[in-house]
Structure 1
């Protein structure tokens, strides 16, 4: 069994993780990066959070240490809510999963309905998603657009109080995708969690600060294994 299992976020390549993974392995940490179906593993299926929970359950051994970045964190949070005994430890790295209803989202939805005919024009479609901040959505193939919608909707039903797993929350203060307030929300709602912010990390510290991320993970895993 590996020392650490990683579920990446909404990305179509894990190449940017290479530097962090190399440093971890050079430090004697055994790591397994899982390839998420529909993202770094090709699939035409539309996935639900339940599909991803089942996939993670099959690919991570019971009693393991797992890290979820962004959408990967959402998957692991839901898995731990359903199966509290599944993981021994959970690391959340700038994770998704906090539901934040907002008037802006409702306005965007209304504009989206009105703008459907215009969005068939590629330039307008790109501009619309830039305006709404939905860059993940605009880059996604059709099945993953619906999958992303399913993921966002699933946050409404995520019950953090059911997650008994010892959880370590690592978060970048420069994260504008899942902002620091969401880390604080997770920390306050999770029964057994630690929270640490990193001043220079963005939403993807494996890109912005790979050395520091690797050092932080190495230190944490070393402490856990003692």
Structure 2
């Protein structure tokens, strides 16, 4: 063999090796895409498992809202509990199970989340959510209520108290948003939702590992995150339109613009916070206590961003004392 033929032979072998590597990478990408393929599901497809009685869907200004209205129907001041971003009314199940024995308890899936799904306006601003809660109260014939909320839900709760103080008896703020803050850690799902170039992929794929990591991120003890819990968050994410609604919501964040209004709140307020919250830092709890006259703060050192879900028994004990 001539010396000129050897380089050509070596080059041909190198090309074959590169083609094999490229083929393996493409095959891996295709397999990964297939394993994480998770297209949207309709509310009807999800309702059998995730909306059993006492769930109902009620018309609130043209939007069919997933609601649970439980307990003492004659309660003059029902308890309305509002979930956070990418969550659902299921986050309050531990509280609702006990509270409904003595109170009327109303939970709902906010527009853009859970089985309610997106609204027609694609508006997920704080003002829209505040008006939504007031419209929901009207639809359920609730004149005055005790409002509780976690994260985004807490922000909505106190904004309702500012906008319509005559309709709020008490506030329960659980790791509530409201002030500008810098997260120590952001759930992976939120990070990817902020990237426009990922929108098509995120609309059709939902890797189980990403969902599990995102849920663990908001728990103080990640070992409490069970496969069943991940199943629930995954199902709510796959509700048609919710992934796009999340992206829109993240572009409409308030980022503390209304924080000065917190000082105008003059209703009895209980502030609950997880000491291991990596999303909204625990120091924000002291800011709420500082700005809401007469408010009471309880810190749960071992819990994370969703303490009502992570340990409903311990957190509810503090709520029951406050309600009494």
User: Which blocks of at least 5 consecutive residues in structure 2 are unaligned?
Assistant: 1-75, 184-193, 219-236
- Tell me, yes or no, if structure 1 residue 23 matches structure 2 residue 98: yes
Q: Pick from 141, 145, 167: which aligns with 1:86?
A: 167
- Tell me, yes or no, if structure 1 residue 32 matches structure 2 residue 106: yes
- CA distance in 2: counterparts of 1:120 and 1:217, whole angstroms: 40
Change (3 A) 1:13 1:68: closer
Query: For 2:309, what is the secondary structure of its paired residue?
Result: helix
- Tell me, yes or no, if structure 1 residue 188 matches structure 2 residue 290: yes
- CA distance in 1: counterparts of 2:77 and 2:165, whole angstroms: 20
How many residue pairs match? The answer is: 204
- Tell me, yes or no, if structure 1 residue 200 matches structure 2 residue 302: yes
Shift of 1:7: 0.9
CA RMSD of superposed structures (Å): 3.4
1:166 is aligned to: 268
Higher relative contact order (CA 8 A, sep 6+): 1
Change (3 A) 1:69 1:16: closer
When normalised by structure 1's length, the TM-score is 0.75
2:278 is aligned to: 176
Aligned partners of 1:171 and 1:196 also within 8 Å: yes
Shift of 1:86: 2.7
Query: For 2:85, what is the secondary structure of its paired residue?
Result: coil
User: Which blocks of at least 5 consecutive residues in structure 1 are unaligned?
Assistant: 103-112
- CA distance in 1: counterparts of 2:89 and 2:289, whole angstroms: 27
The one-character-per-residue Cα deviations of 1:138-177 (angstroms, maximum 9, x if unpaired) are: x662233122331x33522332122222211111112222
- CA distance in 1: counterparts of 2:319 and 2:88, whole angstroms: 21
- CA distance in 1: counterparts of 2:147 and 2:171, whole angstroms: 5
- CA distance in 2: counterparts of 1:54 and 1:116, whole angstroms: 29
- CA distance in 2: counterparts of 1:141 and 1:121, whole angstroms: 10
Aligned partners of 1:176 and 1:203 also within 8 Å: yes
Aligned partners of 2:86 and 2:246 also within 8 Å: no
2:134 is aligned to: 57
- CA distance in 1: counterparts of 2:160 and 2:272, whole angstroms: 19
Shift of 1:120: 6.4
- Tell me, yes or no, if structure 1 residue 153 matches structure 2 residue 242: no
Query: For 1:156, what is the secondary structure of its paired residue?
Result: coil
Aligned partners of 1:172 and 1:200 also within 8 Å: yes
Shift of 1:21: 1.7
- Tell me, yes or no, if structure 1 residue 46 matches structure 2 residue 120: no
The structure with the largest alpha-carbon Rg is 2
